[in-house]
Amino acid sequence: MNVAEDLDKYRAPALDKGLDILELLAATEEGLSQAEIAKSLDRSPNEIYRMLDRLVRRDYVRRTSADRYELTLKLFELSHTTPPIRRLVSQATPVLRRFARDAEQAVHLVIHDRNILVVVAQVDGPGYWNVSIRVGSRIGLVNTGSGHVFLAFASEEERALMLEDHGDKRREKLPAALQARLARVGEQGYEAMASLQVASVINLSVPIFGPLGSVVAALTCPYTERLDKKDAPDQAEALRLLIAAGQDISQRSVTKE
């Protein structure tokens, strides 16, 4: 019996159908109609309706007012009940709060989970003005400070796998300018780059190291200069505080494993 036959022997068609729907919706930003889902999966509308009904009732999928379907955060919440992520967020949260208070800036924690970068914790600064990213948001790999940190501290093999997971098949290697930037990030231990998504924001990012010395998360502050408060910490001070916070969380992850 070959591998394909062995896999078919243990198929669960209903489960496969549900997982196909979840994976399809996960790759779609604005949701899909029942007809679009059926067409994409080459299924009958009746098959899709029954499965969608169950997924909606179990809160994995929600039906919008425009009669489209999109994922809820239930899968994200379930992933956070796993011990490693729960432990990391628990250890990091007090440090994030202290940084946000002292730097007067928002800050968020990002992990690389298989093929995505996802924000798993976020704290706003104490003032009225913040640039923050919601928990559960997915962010880019090659165009964000957090992504640069993961790439900079990865081995060549790990970096290639990360790019492949993110569907980046434009080149076998990264552009020379980006390779040089990642080398600099690795040398200095942090990234400080203008946001490619929001004007006037400087993304300050530092690595969080696990017990084995690999990067398990990135800590990022979307720094914005305060024009209404002259005594607010400047970018250099925010970076100093962020580096200290990253070192603190790294130490906690090593000593409390």
Q: Where are the domains of the chain?
A: 3-72, 79-255
What fold is seen in the domain 79-255?
Beta-Lactamase (3.30.450)
**DSSP annotation of 209:** E
By three-state DSSP, how is residue 32 classified?
Answer: strand
Strands (E), the chain: 61-63, 69-71, 107-113, 116-123, 138-139, 191-194, 202-209, 215-223
- The answer to whether 224 and 131 have CB atoms below 8 angstroms apart is yes
d(CA 106, CA 195): 14
pLDDT value of residue 10: 61
1: confidence class by pLDDT, cuts 50, 70, 90: very low
257: confidence class by pLDDT, cuts 50, 70, 90: very low
Kindly report which listed range (4-8, 124-128, 240-244) carries the lowest average pLDDT score.
4-8
170: confidence class by pLDDT, cuts 50, 70, 90: very low
pLDDT value of residue 12: 78
pLDDT value of residue 77: 65
- pLDDT at position 82 over 80: no
The two tokens of residue 46 are 């009746």
Q: Which residue has the tokens 């440090």?
A: 95
- pLDDT at position 126 over 70: yes
Kindly report which listed range (71-80, 196-205, 206-215, 222-231) carries the lowest average pLDDT score.
71-80
Q: What is the pTM of this model?
A: 0.68
242: confidence class by pLDDT, cuts 50, 70, 90: very high
- pLDDT at position 3 over 50: no
- The answer to whether 205 and 153 have CB atoms below 8 angstroms apart is no
- pLDDT at position 111 over 70: yes
d(CA 253, CA 257): 6
What fold is seen in the domain 3-72?
Arc Repressor Mutant, subunit A (1.10.10)
- Output the CA–CA distances (angstroms, integers) from residue 128 to 20, 218, 233, in the order listed: 42, 25, 16
pLDDT value of residue 118: 92
- Averaged pLDDT, 223-239: 90
- The answer to whether 84 and 100 have CB atoms below 8 angstroms apart is no
- pLDDT at position 165 over 70: no
